[in-house]
Amino acid sequence: MTLTPVPHLAVIVVAAGSGTRLRGGAPKAFVGLDARSILHHALRGVFCAPAAQVVVVVPEGYEGDATTDALDAAGDRGELVTVVTGGATRQQSVAAGLTALWGDVDTVLVHDAARALTPAAVFERVVAALDDGAVAVIPVLPVVDTIKRVDGAGRVVAAVDRSELAAAQTPQGFRRSVLEAAVASADADHTDDAALVAAAGHPVVTVEGDARAFKVTTAPDLERARSLVTAAPEVEAAPTPATGIPRVGLGTDVHGFGGDGTLWLAGLEWPGEQALSGHSDGDAVAHAIVDALLAAAGLGDIGTHFGTDRPEFAGAHATAFLTHTVGLLAAAGWRVGNVAVQVQANRPRFAARRVEAEQALSRALGGAPVSVSATTTDGLGFTGRTEGVAAFATALVVPA
């Protein structure tokens, strides 16, 4: 998704850090997440913002690599890209980026390349606050851990009230004149641009950040980013949840009788009933729900994530499928609203276990409501001949 271009908006992507805490064997922005670098992933997000210019600030000697990444990520917007050499500190790199801005730019977002998986919605919120008249805007997340002040010997000195704290992310947005003046008059090195602007006496407002905008700082952060993009590349390409707007999806599945063991259907074991065949346990109800949820979130379909090339799902039951799907949704910023599923089958008879099935499926979906209905087809078709089971599901997902 690309927002409507804002003519006078530029994004400065600071990527000139060395990544000493990561120790990735190259400057951090040039370490790979998958086949592409951290910088490439960050720029893909940046090009969802309505920028008229994108300035990429990189370590000396990496200008060529950065240009290749930037032009690839830019697609047909390559003319917007300027690559410049950064400085010894982040603040100096921001200053270098500012010198490259075109004359008509009046609004600037500064974004860490290291926050490579920042969703477009965060850019949207920052731009919207600037449009509403703010001179400086930062995305923040609440601090979730209990915080202590400690002395040099590691002893606790005091508890800190975390309700007064927020963790700062990027992109941070500013009126250009305000940021330029703050950089020019800075008498200290600050770790973020908001601190610089606040030190110059300007109010800084906050908007909601996003857990996916985490900064790749240490090796575990890199692991997390890699697992997000390699385990579920579609997560990155999936539509970013538009604030407050839910989406619906549809899924169907069919399995024939003839499997080994007992029947598993709708997350329940059915002793004495003939099993369905399939790579997993043949639970057509669970699979239809997975398809409906993935479709709603724009994450492909069951074959994308649970194909026969995934041995861990051989023989797996509904809980494995549904909990994995909930995880994929969460990584893409969605949670399950509700699910309704209909089973067409002569056997098993659902009436006595319908509520039990709803509860089992709901548990596997983290508590989201699930409605199960069952019907026969008056002897028509393959379900009418008791050759198999068909299931049809609809799902609603809502921004997490």
| Binding site members for a divalent metal cation | 253, 255, 287
234 is a site residue for ligand LQXTBERG (CB under 6 A): no
Which of 82, 91, 118, 170: binder of ligand LQXTBERG (CB under 6 A)? 170
d(CA 201, CA 181): 11
Q: Using CB under 6 A, which of the segments 9-17, 224-232, 286-294, 347-355 binds ligand CTP?
A: 9-17
Q: Is residue 217 near ligand CTP by the rule CB under 6 A?
A: yes
Site string for ligand CTP, 355-384 (x = CB under 6 A): ------------------------------
Supply the minimum distance, in Å, between the C-beta of residue 167 and ligand LQXTBERG.
7
**Alpha helices, H only, the chain:** 38-46, 63-74, 90-99, 120-131, 176-185, 193-199, 219-231, 233-237, 284-297, 302-306, 318-331, 354-364, 381-384
Nearest Cα to 251, choosing from 281, 283, 295?
295
Of 264, 272, 355, 356, the closest CA to residue 317 belongs to: 264
What's the rounded Cα separation, in Å, for the pair 359 and 76? 50
Contact set for ligand LQXTBERG, span 353-382 (CB under 6 A): none
Give the residue from 86, 107, 100 showing the smallest Cα distance to 15: 86
Annotated binding site: 253-255, 279-280, 287, 301-303, 375-378, 382, 385
- Residue from the set 4, 20, 146, 163 that interacts with ligand CTP by CB under 6 A: 20
> CA-to-CA distance for 66 and 82, rounded, in angstroms?
10
Residue 152: partners with Cβ closer than 8 Å, 6 or more residues away? none
CB nearer to ligand LQXTBERG: pick between 46 and 268: 46
Cα gap 92→108, rounded to integer Å: 16
The pattern of x and - marking residues 39 through 78 that bind ligand CTP according to CB under 6 A reads ------------------x---------------------
Shortest Cβ distance from residue 215 to ligand CTP (Å)? 5
Decide if 187 contacts 193 (C-beta within 8 A). no
- In the set 9, 10, 11, 29, which binds ligand CTP (CB under 6 A)? 29
Binds ligand LQXTBERG by CB under 6 A, chosen from 169, 206, 280, 394: 169
87 binds, among ligand CTP, ligand LQXTBERG, none (CB under 5 to 8 A by kind): ligand CTP
Residue 28 interaction partner, one of ligand CTP, ligand LQXTBERG, none, beta carbon < 5-8 Å per kind:
ligand CTP
Stretch that binds ligand LQXTBERG, among 164-172, 199-207, 281-289, 341-349 (CB under 6 A): 164-172
Residue 135 structure tokens: 């001179």
Minimum distance from residue 81 beta carbon to ligand CTP (Å): 16
* Contacting residue, 65, 69, 112, 124, with ligand CTP by CB under 6 A: 112
Q: How many CA atoms lie within 13 A of 201 on its CB side?
A: 2
Closest CA to 74 of 103, 97, 45, 96: 45
Q: Which residues contact 380 (CB under 8 A, 6 or more apart)?
A: none
**String marking each residue 188-217 x if it binds ligand LQXTBERG according to CB under 6 A:** ---xx----------------------x-x
Count CB atoms within 10 A of the CB of residue 379.
10
The residues, ordered by sequence, that sit 6+ positions from 185 with a Cβ below 8 Å of its Cβ are 200
Query: Minimal distance in Å, beta carbon 275 to ligand CTP?
Result: 53
Applying CB under 6 A, which of residues 67, 89, 304, 338 lies at the interface with ligand CTP? 89
How many C-beta neighbours within 10 Å does residue 259 have?
A: 18
Q: What is the binding site for ligand LQXTBERG (CB under 6 A)?
A: 112, 168-170, 191-192, 215, 217
